[in-house]
């Protein structure tokens, strides 16, 4: 796309927003219903496109791309009318005879970037929030998943007029053109490195951003954990889409008493899920590009391979792999793995693990396995991450009732469910004064009024404390 074409789309969307048409809750509902129906109609095309882009298993695409997207659309459709109503809030006692409210209003024209690993849900779920909130939207899919991007473009074109929502196809040159323009909000899903570029570009226009990034999300298996459940879930999460998931288990800390049991169970589930020759499994994805493949293959040399390690250079496949005996300075412990390679570390004192995590960038997710509620609360209180799942993996990210997002290096802001609506909404503060009484104490001249004002507010604070 050319700069002129990009600007033409943006200007049309800005004009459409200024027309006030998107403020209609009925219009928002109509288009989100169309979007939901069209996603259903394109289910087979979405699955086929994912196969072409990454070799991903149909079931995995259905879970994270289709079902997750339909859940979010259905939830928004059920709640738009209540979300868009003004919210009454309390008014301070000293502003008696007044009432206060927060009016939800859209930002305007928003820009949404998706990553390549889940190109449908990472565009449509934030789009659901943007449209529900009353915005217009430009969508930019990743060029790394061209088949899926093409299907998304067809879905959006079938549902929306371009002045309401449009897809801009292309590579980094198109992303750069988009970031040069002024938007009212930018929503980005991708790596921390690119997230910094997006935030810097948005800052030039003082545009607010949501950044959904990644990080080294750890799993911790304490000595009282159900080791079989832990191993099963971690292997599944580590190999889902070949580990190319922002909330995949990056590495695992296992209590020394359970180390061998975990390794044995992990190997058993690798074989159960993908057979003795996982490189031939129809349920296993390939690594998205050559750079990511070469980076991941280099990790195999940084520890002892206790299972897996096979690669297929031509198909960019890496077998499910378990690594132990890893030096502290190894890159596999410093960089987000984003591959089906599981570094296993052991500990004997959970406090040591917690202390170590506090020195590292905050991850997008943390997983803790223990049957002890007290230990669970300790981990939740004393560690810092975007989200936590206890005795399972990746589950918190699938709930429309929980916000999903990172903190620090793993992101800014959150979405999913009501949080998606809130992300693209400005809550305008409004106070209605009934003009019944206008106290003269607040106006000059102030001579002799300070003691009366002090006594007045002492009385107000006392009354508020009592009431």
Q: Which residues are catalytic?
A: 212, 246
Q: What is the DSSP letter of 8?
A: H
Q: In Å, how far are 95, 432, 434, 449, 464 from 439, measured between CA atoms?
A: 10, 16, 13, 12, 19
Q: Which residues contact 67 (CB under 8 A, 6 or more apart)?
A: none
Q: CA–CA separation, 71 vs 83, rounded Å? A: 17
**Measuring CA to CA, which residue among 139, 163, 183, 137 is closest to residue 12?**
163
Classify burial at 295, counting beta carbons within 10 Å of its beta carbon; exposed 0-12, middle 13-18, buried 19 or more.
middle
Q: What is the dihedral of CA 163, 182, 187, 18, to 10 degrees?
A: -40
Strand partners, 425: 106
DSSP string of 100-151, one letter each residue: EEEEEEE-SEEEEE--SSSTTHHHHHHHHHHHHHT-EEEEE--TTSHHHHHH
């Amino acid at each position: 796309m050319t700069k002129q074409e990009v600007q033409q789309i943006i200007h049309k969307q800005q004009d459409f927003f200024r027309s006030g048409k998107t403020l209609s809750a009925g219009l928002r509902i109509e288009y989100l219903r169309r979007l939901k129906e069209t996603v259903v109609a394109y289910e087979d095309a979405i699955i086929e496109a994912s196969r072409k882009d990454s070799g991903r298993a149909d079931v995995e695409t259905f879970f994270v791309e289709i079902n997750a997207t339909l859940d979010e659309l259905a939830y928004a459709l059920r709640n738009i009318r209540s979300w868009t109503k003004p919210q009454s809030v309390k008014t301070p006692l000293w502003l008696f005879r007044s009432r206060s409210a927060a009016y939800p209003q859209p930002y305007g024209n928003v820009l949404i970037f998706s990553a390549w690993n889940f190109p449908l849900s990472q565009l449509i779920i934030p789009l659901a929030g943007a449209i529900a909130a009353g915005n217009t939207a430009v969508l930019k899919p990743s060029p790394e998943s061209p088949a899926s991007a093409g299907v998304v473009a067809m879905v959006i074109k079938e549902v929306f007029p371009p002045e309401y929502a449009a897809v801009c196809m292309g590579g980094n040159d198109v992303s750069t053109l988009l970031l040069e323009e002024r938007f009212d909000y930018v929503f980005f899903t991708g790596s921390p490195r690119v997230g910094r570029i997006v935030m810097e570009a948005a800052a030039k226009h003082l545009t607010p951003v949501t950044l959904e990034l990644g990080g080294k999300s750890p799993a911790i298996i304490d000595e009282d954990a159900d080791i079989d459940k832990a191993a099963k879930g971690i292997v599944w999460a580590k190999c889902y889409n070949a580990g190319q998931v922002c909330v995949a288990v990056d590495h695992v800390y296992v209590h020394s008493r359970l180390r061998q049991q975990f390794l044995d169970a992990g190997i058993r589930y690798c074989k159960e899920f993908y057979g003795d020759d996982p490189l031939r499994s129809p349920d296993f994805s390939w690594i998205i590009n050559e750079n990511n493949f070469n980076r991941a293959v280099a990790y195999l040399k940084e520890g002892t391979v206790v299972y897996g390690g096979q690669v297929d250079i031509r198909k960019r496949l890496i077998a499910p792999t378990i690594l132990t005996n890893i030096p502290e300075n190894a890159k596999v412990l410093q960089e987000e793995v984003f591959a089906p390679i599981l570094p296993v570390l052991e500990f004997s004192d959970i406090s040591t693990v917690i202390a170590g995590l506090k020195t590292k960038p905050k991850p997008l997710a943390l997983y803790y396995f223990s049957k002890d509620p007290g230990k669970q609360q300790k981990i939740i209180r004393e560690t810092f991450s975007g989200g936590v799942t206890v005795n399972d993996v990746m589950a918190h990210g699938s709930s429309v009732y929980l916000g999903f997002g990172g903190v620090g290096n793993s992101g800014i802001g959150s979405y999913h469910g009501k949080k998606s609506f809130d992300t693209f909404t400005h809550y305008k503060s409004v106070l209605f004064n009934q003009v019944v009484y206008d106290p003269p104490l607040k106006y000059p001249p102030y001579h002799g009024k300070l003691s009366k004002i002090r006594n007045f507010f002492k009385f107000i604070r006392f009354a508020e404390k009592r009431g």
